Structure 1
C-alpha cells in the first residue's frame, strides 16, 4: 500500500531539506511504494537517487542498489552516512573479510542501503546472504547498461534477472537518464517486469539549455572565446577525450587569465579531491576533464559545458551536456567541431574493435601479469598499470585499452579506474589475546595503543578507516615505519591491514579461461561494431545538422513532435536571417559605437533601446561575443575586443 503524501514529503524534508519533489519524482515514488516494477527516465540532474532513497526510508527493510560506478557508489554511501542514514557498499578491490563483514552488517544490522556492483550479485557469498536481508526494493542505476542496444552495455547486469528469482515479490526500480525506445523495451524485458510494470519518462527537452556546434580549426582559441563570452566568474566544465588533452587545455586557459584546472583518473587522489572541491566551492571556475567527471556531483549553477571532442554517442553527449543549467537558468552546451572530426570518429570506431588474435593475446598477458591459473582468479582484483603492462608484453597501449574494453563488453574482465580507498584495520583477536601480545612486544604495543586511542573499539567489530599519517605524527615515526609495522602485525595475525589504495584495477569476472578458447562470439562482436558505427553516424549528423539542435536530440530519443527550441545556434541564426538586414546592421553599429565610448553591462546597454528591439539585441550581442568582436570585462561589462 502506498504511503500518504505527507509521509513521503516528511522523509524528503527530514533528510534533504526540500519542501517539494521535483517534476516526476512523486509519481515514480508512488509506483514503487505500490509494489510496481518501475522504469524511470529522468534527465541528468533530475534527482534519480531520491526516487529510490525516499521510498526505502518510508518503509522498513533494506534497499539494494546496483551500480557500475565505484566512485559514484562510494560518494552516495558517504552522503547518506552524513545524513545519519546507514549505508554500505560492496565492490571490486575489497578483501574477502571486508565483504563478509559488510554483508553480515546488512543481515543483522540497521543498514538501509546496500550498494553492489553487478558482478558481485551471484557470488556464493552474496547468494547466501541476500535472502536473509530484509530487501524491500531493488534499484538498478544506469539501467541502460542492461541493453545490448545501449551505449554502455555491461553483461554482468544480465545477472539481475537471476537475482529476482532469489528475491520473489521484491519490486525493481530501473533508472537512467538516456534511453531510446528500443533500449527501454530491452530494459523491461531483461528485468522481467511484471504485468503491472510502469514507465515514467520526463521529456528530454531542456528549455533553458542552448545547444551549439561551432566549427573551427583552432579549438583552443575558440574555447577561450566561448568561455570569455559566458562571462566572468561563471562555472564551466570542458570535456576532452584524453588525459593529456585535459592538461593542455587547462594550461592554455590559465595562460590566458582564466581560473582552470585539469581533472582525470591519472592524477593523485588528493589532487583530484582538491580540484573537485575547489570547483564545487567556486574557487576554481573551470574544470577540464575526461568524461567521468561530473557524475554524482550536485552543482546546479554550471553555466556552460564545452566538448573539445565529440563523445561516441548522442546518449553520452546528452548526459554530459546536461550537467549545465541544472538550476533551470539559461546555460550553454557547446560542441567544438573541426573539419576532420567526422573522419577521426569513424577511424576510432574501427580501431576500438581490435582483431580477435589481439584480444586473446591481451587476455593471456593479463593472466601472466596477475599470475592467474586457468580456472582461478574470479573476482580477484589486481593493480594494473597500462603503460607498464604494454611495455612488459610488447603491446601497443591503444591495443591494450581497446582489447580490455572488448573483454569487458564480453563479460570476461572488468577495468576499474583509480578509486581512492583509505587504509583500513580490523583486529580479529579478542582483547585478552591482544593484551598478551602487547605486553610481549613493546614497539608494536605503541602502534596498537595509538590505533585504539584514535579509532576505539570499532576496530574489533569490523574494518575501520585509518590515517597512516595521523598515526605517524602521534608516534613520531615515519609513515614507512607505520606501514611496515602494520604489515608485520598483519602477517602475524594480530590485525588485518588493507593499505591505502589509489591505482586502477582489473579483475577476471569469470574463472580464467584458456586464452585460445576464449568464449568470444565473432558475430556478436561484429554486431557491436556495427551498433557503434550507427551511434557515431548519429553524432556526425547532429554536428552537421541544418535545423534546431534540440529537435535533433529529441527525435533521437523518440520525441518526434517537438517545436524548435528558439535558443540553439540554428534557431538564433534563423531569427537573425528573418531580421531586415539594414536594421541588424544599424543595431550592430549602434552597439559598437556605444561600447567604444565606455564598457556597459548588457542591462545598461539594452536600456538605451526600444523594448521591441530586445530579442534582436540579445541575439546580436551573443553573436558579437561568439565571434570575438565583444568581450566581457572582469566586472561583467561588455567591451569591444
Structure 2
C-alpha cells in the first residue's frame, strides 16, 4: 500500500520546511494570488518576509521556480538556506565556469527534485540559458528587488528590462511575482508595465510604517562622541549595526568603540573573505555586539534582535536609508534608527551627487581603461567576468578613484558593464569520468592517485553527480603537501578532462554585459543620463529635507513612498520632542493659578516661590513666572519681589 501524498497546502509547507505555525500579516493573501495564477506585485517592508511569498507557492505548484536576483551574495545565502531545509536549489551568476553553469542548468532540466533556480539578470538572455529554460518545467517566475526594473527607482539595472522577453519564452500560464521593499507609486506602475502584467493582476502592499522603530536625526559636530552617547543610551549588551561610508571609516570607528570598552568589529569588502565570514558569524552569535560596516552588509541576513542601526553619514536616497534602518527591530520590539548629521552634511550630499555624473569624455576613458585592464578586444568579452580591484585599476590608468567609481556606475546603469561585490566562493570539484575510466586513469598515473583517493574519501560518490565544495587547505594537510601544489595538481586534472575544478574566488569582479564597443562609439544615451542626474538630485533633496525635518520622521518617509495621510509614529525624535513640549506647556498651565494665588497673598521673591513647590517643578515654575511677567500678570517691585500689578 503506497503512502499518502505529502500535504501541499501553504500552511503545511510553511510548517514542514520553515517550522512556523502561522504566516506573517499579508503573506497568505499574496501566496493565494500566486497560486490562483495571477501576476502579483508584492511590497513588504524590510524584514516583512518577502522570500516566503514566492518560496511557499513555488513548492505548492508543479515545476521549478526561476528567481531573478541582482546580488550574488543574496542569491548564495538563499540557495544555502533552502538546501539546509532539504530543498534543492541551483544558482547561476557571474564568475561561474561554463561547466558549472552547464551542470546547474542540466540539473534543472533533468533533475526532477530541483525546485528553485536563482539567476542574475544578465544571464537570462544568453543563448545557453534560453535553450535550456525552454526545456524546463517552469511553474513560477519570481523577480526579487523588482525596483531595479524602473528607471525611476534608486537602483536601476538595465538587464532587468529584458525579463519580459523571458516571459515570452515560458508557457502562457506561468505567473510572475515581483517583490520589493521600496517602491513609490511611479516605480510600482513602471514594474507592472515593464513585466507586462496580465489583466487581473494583484498589487499587495503593506504600510511601510514600523510602529516600534524610533527614527532620529541627531545634529552634531563630533559624530564619534555622539555615537558613543547613542550606544550607551541603547543599553549594554544590545546588538547594533553602525553604517559608515568608507572602509577606513569602518575600521577607525570600530577601533574607537573598542577603546571605550564596547564589543565591536569592522566589516567591509576589503577584508579577507575568511575574516569577513568570521566577523559576520560572531555578530550573529552575539560574540560581537556592534558591527561597523559599509552599506553592503546586512542584505539577506536574518537577525531579528538588532536594537540599533546608526548611520555616520546619510545614504544617497531615502529608499536606501529605509532599507538599511529597517534592519533594526525585526522582532517587533522597540529599536532605534539614528542618523548622525553634521552641519554641512546636506551640502556634502549635493556635492557628491553632482560629482557622481562625470563628463562623458571621462566615462569613455574609463570604459577604454576597463577594456585594457581586462585585455578585451572590440566585439568580445560579453559576460566574461574578471577580477577587479578599483584602487589598483585607478592607479594603473591614472584616473581619480572617485571618477573611476562614478563612471563605472554610469556604465552599469547604461547596461554596458556589471560590477559584482566581493563574494567568497569556495573551490568546487566535479568528477567527469565514470568510475571505471577514473580507476584506469589512477592506475596509469600514480602521481595523481593519492589526490583522487583523498577527494573520494572526503566527498564520496557525490563527486560524480554534482559539483562539491572542497577545502584545498584540508586536502593539502591530508596529503602533506603545500596548498600551491594541490591547486597545481587540480588545475592539471581539470585541463586533462578528469574533473572540473573551479578555484576559490574572493575578489570583486567586473564584466562587460554587451560585446565590447570601441570607446569613442560607445552609444551612451545622453538624454537618459540627464534624466538620471535630475532624478538623483531630486532624491538627494529628499534626503536633505529628512536631515532637517520639521515633522514626524516616519510620516516624512511614508509620504515619500506615497502613503496617504500617514499617522504620526509617536516614537521618533520629532514626535518625542513635541510630546515633551506639550507636557511642559501643560505643566506651565497647571502652575499658573497656584503661583498667582501665592503672590496675591503676599509679594514674594522667585526663590521663595520655588521653595513652596516640589524641587522637580523648578524648571516649569521658572518658565511660568517668566511667562506671567511677560504677559503683565506679575511685575517686579523695587525690592526684587514679584507682585500683582495694581488694577489687575
Task: Give 1:395 shift.
Answer: 1.2
Indicate the residue corresponding to 1:619 in structure 2: none
Q: For 1:417, which of 398, 418, 421 is the aligned residue?
A: 421
Q: For 2:157, which of 142, 148, 154 is the aligned residue?
A: 154
1:10 and 1:122 map into 2 onto residues whose CA distance is: 36
Q: Is the 8 A contact 2:310 2:339 kept in 1?
A: yes
Q: Which has the larger radius of gyration?
A: 2
Q: For 1:111, which of 109, 114, 121 is the aligned residue?
A: 114
Alignment of 1:291-310 (within 5 A): 291-310=295-314
Indicate the residue corresponding to 2:593 in structure 1: none
| Pairing 1:519–2:533 present | no
Question: What do you get for the CA RMSD once the two structures are aligned?
Answer: 1.9
2:285 and 2:463 map into 1 onto residues whose CA distance is: 34
Q: TM-score, normalised by structure 1?
A: 0.89
Matched position secondary structure for 1:63: strand
Task: Give 1:254 shift.
Answer: 0.5
Q: Please, which moves more after superposition, 558-567 or 374-383?
A: 558-567
Indicate the residue corresponding to 1:30 in structure 2: 32
2:164 and 2:81 map into 1 onto residues whose CA distance is: 29
1:419 and 1:123 map into 2 onto residues whose CA distance is: 23
Task: Give 1:484 shift.
Answer: 1.4
Q: Deviations over 1:353-400 (max 9, x none)?
A: 111111111111111111111111110100112122112111111111
Task: Give 1:425 shift.
Answer: 1.5
Alignment of 1:212-251 (within 5 A): 212-251=216-255
Indicate the residue corresponding to 1:16 in structure 2: 18
Indicate the residue corresponding to 1:133 in structure 2: 136
| Pairing 1:347–2:355 present | no
Indicate the residue corresponding to 2:567 in structure 1: 563
Q: Is the 8 A contact 1:98 1:462 kept in 2?
A: no
Alignment of 1:276-355 (within 5 A): 276-355=280-359
Q: Deviations over 1:426-466 (max 9, x none)?
A: 22233333223222322211111111111122222332211
Q: Is the 8 A contact 2:314 2:543 kept in 1?
A: yes
| Pairing 1:471–2:479 present | no
Task: Give 1:234 shift.
Answer: 0.7
1:44 and 1:272 map into 2 onto residues whose CA distance is: 23
Alignment of 1:542-561 (within 5 A): 542-561=546-565
Alignment of 1:524-603 (within 5 A): 524-580=528-584
Matched position secondary structure for 1:214: strand
Alignment of 1:495-514 (within 5 A): 495-514=499-518
| Pairing 1:69–2:71 present | yes
1:224 and 1:266 map into 2 onto residues whose CA distance is: 25
2:252 and 2:574 map into 1 onto residues whose CA distance is: 30
Q: TM-score, normalised by structure 2?
A: 0.88
Task: Give 1:311 shift.
Answer: 0.5
Task: Give 1:409 shift.
Answer: 0.3
Q: Deviations over 1:566-605 (max 9, x none)?
A: 1111111111111236959x9xxxxxxxxxxxxxxxxxxx
Equivalent residues, number: 586
Aligned CA distance change for structure 1 residues 438 and 6 (closer, same or farther; 3 Å): closer
Q: Is the 8 A contact 1:382 1:505 kept in 2?
A: yes
Indicate the residue corresponding to 1:634 in structure 2: none
Matched position secondary structure for 2:21: coil
Consecutive unaligned residues in structure 1, runs of 5 or more? 587-612, 617-641
Task: Give 1:149 shift.
Answer: 0.2
Matched position secondary structure for 1:205: coil
Aligned CA distance change for structure 1 residues 447 and 270 (closer, same or farther; 3 Å): same
Q: Is the 8 A contact 2:161 2:194 kept in 1?
A: yes
Matched position secondary structure for 2:67: strand
1:6 and 1:207 map into 2 onto residues whose CA distance is: 34
Q: Is the 8 A contact 1:43 1:202 kept in 2?
A: yes
Q: Is the 8 A contact 2:427 2:501 kept in 1?
A: yes
| Pairing 1:210–2:218 present | no
Q: For 2:61, which of 59, 62, 78 is the aligned residue?
A: 59
Q: Is the 8 A contact 2:7 2:13 kept in 1?
A: no
Indicate the residue corresponding to 1:428 in structure 2: 432
Matched position secondary structure for 1:213: strand
Alignment of 1:352-371 (within 5 A): 352-371=356-375
Q: For 1:445, which of 439, 444, 449 is the aligned residue?
A: 449
Aligned CA distance change for structure 1 residues 568 and 431 (closer, same or farther; 3 Å): same
2:339 and 2:81 map into 1 onto residues whose CA distance is: 32
Q: Deviations over 1:509-539 (max 9, x none)?
A: 0111111110101111111011000000000
2:8 and 2:421 map into 1 onto residues whose CA distance is: 42
Q: Is the 8 A contact 2:346 2:547 kept in 1?
A: no
Aligned CA distance change for structure 1 residues 5 and 213 (closer, same or farther; 3 Å): farther
Aligned CA distance change for structure 1 residues 374 and 572 (closer, same or farther; 3 Å): same
Indicate the residue corresponding to 1:89 in structure 2: 91
| Pairing 1:390–2:376 present | no
Task: Give 1:6 shift.
Answer: 8.2
1:560 and 1:257 map into 2 onto residues whose CA distance is: 45
Q: Please, which moves more after superposition, 170-179 or 452-461?
A: 452-461
Q: Please, which moves more after superposition, 279-288 or 390-399?
A: 390-399
Indicate the residue corresponding to 1:78 in structure 2: 80
Indicate the residue corresponding to 1:590 in structure 2: none
Aligned CA distance change for structure 1 residues 361 and 33 (closer, same or farther; 3 Å): same
Indicate the residue corresponding to 2:169 in structure 1: 166
Indicate the residue corresponding to 1:606 in structure 2: none
Indicate the residue corresponding to 1:40 in structure 2: 42
Task: Give 1:419 shift.
Answer: 0.5
Q: Deviations over 1:596-626 (max 9, x none)?
A: xxxxxxxxxxxxxxxxx9xx9xxxxxxxxxx
Q: Deviations over 1:91-137 (max 9, x none)?
A: 00001111011001000101000000000000001100111111111
Indicate the residue corresponding to 1:264 in structure 2: 268
Q: Is the 8 A contact 1:417 1:505 kept in 2?
A: yes
Q: Deviations over 1:187-229 (max 9, x none)?
A: 0000001111110000011110111100000001000100110
2:490 and 2:8 map into 1 onto residues whose CA distance is: 52
2:355 and 2:271 map into 1 onto residues whose CA distance is: 26
Q: Deviations over 1:36-82 (max 9, x none)?
A: 00000000000000000111111221111000010010000000000
Q: Please, which moves more after superposition, 431-440 or 495-504?
A: 431-440
Indicate the residue corresponding to 1:187 in structure 2: 191
Indicate the residue corresponding to 2:145 in structure 1: 142
